Amino acid sequence: MTDPVLRVSGLAKTFRIGFLRKKVEAVRGIDFEVRDGETFGLLGPNGAGKTTTIKMVLRLIFPMAGTIELFGDRHGRAETMKQVGYLPENPYVYQYLKPLEFLDLCGRLAGMDAASRKKRGREMVERVGLGHAVDRPIGKFSKGMMQRIGLAQALLHDPALLILDEPMSGLDPIGRKEVRDLILEHRERGKTILFTSHILSDVELLCDRVGILQRGKMTHYGPLGELLRPETRRVEIVLTQVSDALRDELEDLVADVRAVEGEVVVHVEGADGGQPVIERAVQAGAQIVSVTPARETLEDLFVRDALANARPDSA
């Protein structure tokens, strides 16, 4: 197996804030790897330490402890950093530059020659859907447009490792799909991607493996399929022609019974819990519209994890 593109060991960062220099333990000793060619999702609720981790990987802030190895380099040499493209959480750009001027500047900083800056700049502006806005200064862009120019900048020099901090934020559903497609395209070309996100459905569609951060610690790490509980956990049964008597009876049998537009929707916990409900409904003359087993989703895992970790700061 080839060496990982990124190897993080024992990484920790504490900030001191305010007059009293109160300690905020943003990242508390985490280990993870991002392998060559994979798409890795770094997930977690607000304040979990995702952006802090990414900024340490990019050497924008310095760790208190731990090591970061990028392409086998522990020192963040310029040549190594040139292989990385980065979309910050809040892209801050030069307000008065137009898209192509901005990308030209980014290309210069990445060491690209004039011809490829021009060619790639035009390509990327079209690719992120900003072709109509080439004459507008970036300062006049909407949040979604800002996100797109940030992505164009991150992809400009075709980096081997693309690091995206909340790439879907501020985008409408069409914008999100376009960004997803851009990420998939980059991945299909064999590139490695590390991204953070709150939008779990996007994560499920994109990631090979994930790490979940909670309050600065990594609580889950691995392929998504292995993290989600494989056993069926819930059954949804939709019924019509339900008498009041049957509804009362179902409410006694299971807790979650709801009337929705003439139908009754029953959620039963556990894989086998649906059987008695179905039998009773049929006996009582109700019609069964659907029976759907639901597996654990990433969202369920998140909630399960957040509940298990809901401890005071000193934990």
Ligand X SMILES: Nc1ncnc2c1ncn2[C@@H]1O[C@H](COP(=O)(O)OP(=O)(O)OP(=O)(O)O)[C@@H](O)[C@H]1O
**Are residues 91 and 149 in contact, defined by beta-carbon separation less than 8 angstroms?**
yes
Q: What mask, x for binding Mg ion by CB under 5 A, covers residues 91 to 130? A: ----------------------------------------
**Are residues 204 and 41 in contact, defined by beta-carbon separation less than 8 angstroms?**
no
**Measured from the CB of residue 81, what is the shortest distance to Mg ion in angstroms?**
21
Q: Quick one: which of 32, 40, 52, 110 contacts ligand X (CB under 6 A)?
A: 52
Of 141 and 195, nearer to Mg ion (C-beta) is 195
**Measured from the CB of residue 212, what is the shortest distance to ligand X in angstroms?**
11
Neighbours of 301 (CB within 10 A): 20
What is the Cα–Cα distance from 280 to 108, expressed in whole angstroms? 72
H or E element at residue 203: helix 200-206
Of 89 and 249, nearer to Mg ion (C-beta) is 89
- Beta-sheet pairing, 192-197 with 209-214: unpaired
Of 219 and 232, nearer to ligand X (C-beta) is 219
Does residue 153 touch Mg ion according to CB under 5 A?
Answer: no
Does residue 88 touch ligand X according to CB under 6 A?
Answer: no
- Could you say which of ligand X, Mg ion, none residue 15 binds, taking C-beta under 5 to 8 angstroms by partner kind? ligand X
Residues in the chain: 315
Does residue 51 touch Mg ion according to CB under 5 A?
Answer: yes
Does residue 315 touch ligand X according to CB under 6 A?
Answer: no
Q: Given 3-state DSSP classes, what are the helix, strand and coil percentages for the chain, each rounded to the nearest 5?
A: 35, 30, 35
The sheet that has 84-87: what strands, in order across it? 84-87, 161-165, 192-197, 39-43, 209-214, 217-223
**Measured from the CB of residue 169, what is the shortest distance to ligand X in angstroms?**
9
- Could you say which of ligand X, Mg ion, none residue 44 binds, taking C-beta under 5 to 8 angstroms by partner kind? ligand X
Q: Quick one: which of 4, 41, 44, 129 contacts ligand X (CB under 6 A)?
A: 44
First-to-last alpha carbon distance for the chain, in angstroms, is: 38
Q: Which amino acid belongs to residue 70? A: L
Cα 307 → chain centroid: 20
226: left (phi over 0), alpha (psi -120 to 50) or beta: alpha
Does residue 175 touch ligand X according to CB under 6 A?
Answer: no
Does residue 49 touch ligand X according to CB under 6 A?
Answer: yes
Of 19 and 92, nearer to Mg ion (C-beta) is 92
Q: Which amino acid belongs to residue 314? A: S
Of 15 and 221, nearer to ligand X (C-beta) is 15
Determine the size of the site formed for ligand X (CB under 6 A): 13
SS (H, E, C) 88-126: CCCCCCCCCCCHHHHHHHHHHHCCCCHHHHHHHHHHHHH
**Measured from the CB of residue 49, what is the shortest distance to Mg ion in angstroms?**
8
Q: Report the site for ligand X in 93-152 (rule: CB under 6 A).
A: none
Binding site for Mg ion (CB under 5 A): 50-51, 89
Tell me which residues touch ligand X (CB under 6 A): 15, 17, 24, 26, 44, 46-52, 89
